[in-house]
Amino acid sequence: MGRIRRYLTFWMVLLVTASLIITGCDQGSDQAGTSSKNETLKIGLIVPWTGALGSMGLPAKNGALVAEKVINDAGGVEIKGKKYDIKLIPYDDGSVPDKAVSATQKLINEDGVKVIFGALGSASTLALSPVTESTQTLLVTVSTAAELIGPDKKLTIRPNFLNDQVIKAIVPYYKNELGLKKVAMIVRNDAWGISAEETFIKEFKKNGVEVIAKEVIETTSTDFNTPLTKLRSSNPDALVLAAYPDQAGLIKKQQVEIGWDIPTLAQGQPVAGQAFTQLGGPAVEGHLDYDTLGNHRKDDPKVKEFAAKFEEMFKSPPTGQAFRYFDIVNMIIESMKNADSTTDPLKIRNAFTELEYKGLDMLTYRFEKSGQLLPQGVIVKMNADGSSTPLTMVELDKDGEPTFTDWKDVAK
């Protein structure tokens, strides 16, 4: 009798356990909006939604998650005869290189991904890049550090612009529009800031503009009255901000507070995060900067559809890098389809370079064989309410020379 009771107990426990496992799987599928019939395609995502770049990273991450949702809600994606649901595995590196490396190792060794999309900051991306290259993992990055693309980076693709490319494109416009002869710079003391400084100096010199003064600021600085006062004494025609959104916003605010009325310029970093307008307030009015097209194509049906889904999911409108991250997730999937592979990083990377992808953040994404994106963006003028007015679309042609198209003609 005891043996029978133990036998029945065993099978009851087994049935209950099986029921819980099945229920748990069903709940997970429902939450992800995926189909249980499809296999799962994992893609690593390293992006800072806290820390120095948090105001840029949060909308970026959310833009990627909208892409995941849209793809899965449409039934997933078919690659080489198999149907997949997309599963992004996000890690917050907080713009700390050690955290980015740790996240990369976890994604490769524990999650088993073959493609990692990240990171946002140059320091984090430079730190994790040797890990992806040595483990035969494809790295898709928006970091603008020049060293990330080259003959030794066989498994890296950059669907974003280099500092060098953007600065080369915008300096002639700034010079001609403002009649610049001499400028001063305020420079963030990190790899990105120093790289931007060097390129600005080179391109200004090429265009007959002298950089007459500069002040270097630490990454944690919040009081800029002293460097601003020193730069003011040099009497420049304009002030160049090589700073992240939070510090750039405070610089603009304090510039106005000390009564220094001078044009400010940048190459896209300040306007990439909401902290610029939140901290700068009305003082950002008149600032000239480089922005992505997605923020200024709100009447495009595809952009409207994306914005509606973004607001539905996150209760706020898309900003900054949200459009670019949505496009990049879709380009990763498109490259896998064209490569007929989800696991061969080199095939996927080579398919990426062949793309001519019509996205939200660019009219058409095109790449050099090196894996570097050919740039296309818009120069904007900031308004007191935090909005911006597009002035001209700027591109580099195949010979690396800037071309400009009045925004009114683009908007048609």
Tens of pLDDT, residues 352-381 = 999 999 999 988 898 988 999 988 889 999
The whole-number average pLDDT for the span 145-156 is 89
Instruction: Collect all residues with Cβ–Cβ distance below 8 Å to 237 and sequence separation of at least 6.
Output: 178, 179, 180, 181, 182, 183, 262, 263
- Does 299 have pLDDT greater than 90? no
| Residue 197 and residue 261 share a domain | yes
* In a shared domain, residues 391 and 406: yes
Distance, in Å, from the CA atom of 19 to the CA atom of 315, rounded to the nearest integer, reads 36
pLDDT value, residue 216: 97
Q: Are residues 302 and 355 in the same domain?
A: yes
Are 242 and 357 part of one and the same domain?
Answer: no
Residues 331, 352 contacting (CB under 8 angstroms): yes
3-state SS, residue 302: helix
- 81 and 152 both lie in a single domain: yes
Residues 219, 287, single domain; the answer is yes
Q: What is the pLDDT of residue 363?
A: 86
Residue with tokens 């595809």: 302
Per-residue confidence band for 146, with pLDDT thresholds at 50, 70 and 90: confident
pLDDT exceeds 80 at position 69: yes
Helical pair 191-206 and 122-134, crossing angle rounded to 10 deg: 110
Residue type (1 letter), 185: M
Confidence grade of residue 334 (pLDDT, cut at 50, 70, 90): very high
Is residue 69 situated within a structural domain? Answer: yes
Q: End-to-end CA distance of the chain: give it in Å, rounded.
A: 86
Q: Are residues 62 and 135 in the same domain?
A: yes
- 18, part of any domain: no
> C-alpha dihedral over 70, 75, 77, 83, to 10 degrees?
150
* Whole-number pLDDT of residue 34: 55
On whether both 48 and 122 belong to a single domain, the answer is yes
Within 8 A by CB and 6+ apart from 289, the residues are 265, 266, 267, 268, 270, 271, 379, 380, 382, 388
Q: Is the pLDDT of residue 21 over 80?
A: no
Q: Is the pLDDT of residue 17 over 60?
A: no
Whether the CB-CB separation of 310 and 318 falls below 8 Å is answered with: yes
What is the structure's pLDDT at 35? 54
The per-residue b/e assignment along 250-282, b for 16 or more CB within 10 angstroms, e otherwise, is bbbbbbbeeeeebbbbbbbbbbbbbbbbebbee
In a domain, 321, yes or no: yes
Per mean pLDDT, which range of 32-36, 45-49, 94-98, 285-289 is the poorest?
A: 32-36
Q: SS3 sequence, 85-116?
A: EEEEEEECCCCCHHHHHHHHHHHHHCCCCCEE
Q: What does pLDDT average to over the chain?
A: 89
Res. 302: pLDDT tops 50: yes
Quick check: is 29 in a domain?
no
Number of other residues whose CB lies within 10 A of the CB of residue 27: 10
User: In CATH, what number is assigned to the domain containing residue 125?
Assistant: 3.40.50.2300
Residue 342 forms part of a structural domain: yes
Query: Is residue 79 a part of any domain in this protein?
Result: yes
Q: Are residues 291 and 307 in the same domain?
A: no
Residues 249 and 270 in one domain: yes
Task: Decide if 247 is inside a domain.
Answer: yes
The parent domain of residue 222 ranges over 164-295+377-411
Residues 110 and 171 occupy one common structural domain: no
Q: What SS3 class is residue 20? A: helix
The confidence score (pLDDT) of residue 162 equals 81
- Cα gap 218→99, rounded to integer Å: 21
Is the residue at 28 inside a domain? no
Report the C-alpha gap between 311 and 319 in whole angstroms. 11
Q: Do both 263 and 403 map to the same domain?
A: yes
117 closest CA partner among 42, 45, 47, 41:
45
Per the structure, the count of domains in the chain is 2
What are phi and psi for residue 7, nearest 5 degrees? Answer: -60, -45
pLDDT of the residue at 5: 46
